[in-house]
Amino acid sequence: MRIALYREMTLNAFRSLLAFRAEVLLFLFGQLFRIFVQVYIWYALFGDSDSLISKSGTVTIQEMITYVVISSVISVFATNDVIFRVSNKVSSGEIGMDLIKPMSFRSVIFCQAFGTNLYRMLFELIPLVIVSMLFFHIQLPSLVNGLAFLILVICGLILNFLITYTVGLIAFWYILVWQVNTVLNGLIRLFSGAFIPIWFFSDSLVKLSYFLPFRLIYYEPISVFLGKVTGWQDLLSIIVQQLAWMAGFLLLQKWMWSKAVTRLVVQGG
């Protein structure tokens, strides 16, 4: 019964996006434009050389192009509106209807975000991969690294959801959270390695990035995809770090939720 409810909640989010096909085309065009710009920026930085020396050793131009494409593929799922979705439900009072549903508020938000991801997979991810394969020679991973990459990406996306959901709960104290969203997006873009791999960071930024969870969403999975991380101990260490951060955010959002519902006042309706 509850599984059917989750399925319908996910499908409703999927169907609601079918009315905004023009938005999808614009987003897809923007993603492709960003890939082309980033690729040619890296071509310019590499110049006549086929490789550069970084903290992880030699990085070839082909590895950088693959990094850019895979980073854009992950961003299709990692870019979400969870913070604004939580904020809108609190400010509009819609959360009152969600609270009487036989499922947790977090599950409601997760199903809606998952439905959006399914839509993006069909209408954004597949075209993005096809165009990238046609225009760029993407370096493919070994079977083991490919499977490890998929596991790390799934864990990374769950971690990303928990981060944005936890931050979104701030809306119970401060209704307008766009400033918080802006700061969080800036931190994620910088310290996740979404645009510039952590290989090229300074020592101080590398140390700081290892105190934050964001590199586990982009940088670490892509490093595995490219074969920069191959040992079982290193792979296990990354997964353990992802699980530890997920457990930490689950505890934090549970504590915040217990405090938040005591502040909730829904008027009208």
Q: What is the pLDDT of residues 166-190, one digit of tens each?
A: 998 888 887 777 788 888 888 888 8
**HEC per residue, the chain:** CHHHHHHHHHHHHHHHHHHHHHHHHHHHHHHHHHHHHHHHHHHHHHCCCCEEEECCEEEEHHHHHHHHHHHHHHHHHHCCCHHHHHHHHHHHCCHHHHHCCCCCHHHHHHHHHHHHHHHHHHHHHHHHHHHHHHHCCCCCCCHHHHHHHHHHHHHHHHHHHHHHHHHHHHHHCCCCCHHHHHHHHHHHHHHCCCCCCHHHCCHHHHHHHCCCCHHHCCHHHHHHHCCCCCCHHHHHHHHHHHHHHHHHHHHHHHHHHHHHCCCCCCCCC
Q: According to the model, what pLDDT value does residue 258 have?
A: 87
User: What is the chain's pLDDT, residue by residue, as a tens digit (269 residues)?
Assistant: 567 777 777 877 777 776 666 777 777 788 788 888 888 888 888 887 888 777 767 888 888 899 998 998 888 878 778 888 888 888 777 777 777 777 788 888 888 888 888 887 877 788 888 888 888 878 888 888 899 999 999 999 999 999 999 998 888 887 777 788 888 888 888 888 888 888 888 888 888 888 999 999 999 999 999 888 878 888 999 999 999 999 999 999 999 888 877 766 665 54
Q: According to the model, what pLDDT value does residue 125 have?
A: 82
pTM of the model: 0.87
Q: According to the model, what pLDDT value does residue 107 have?
A: 85
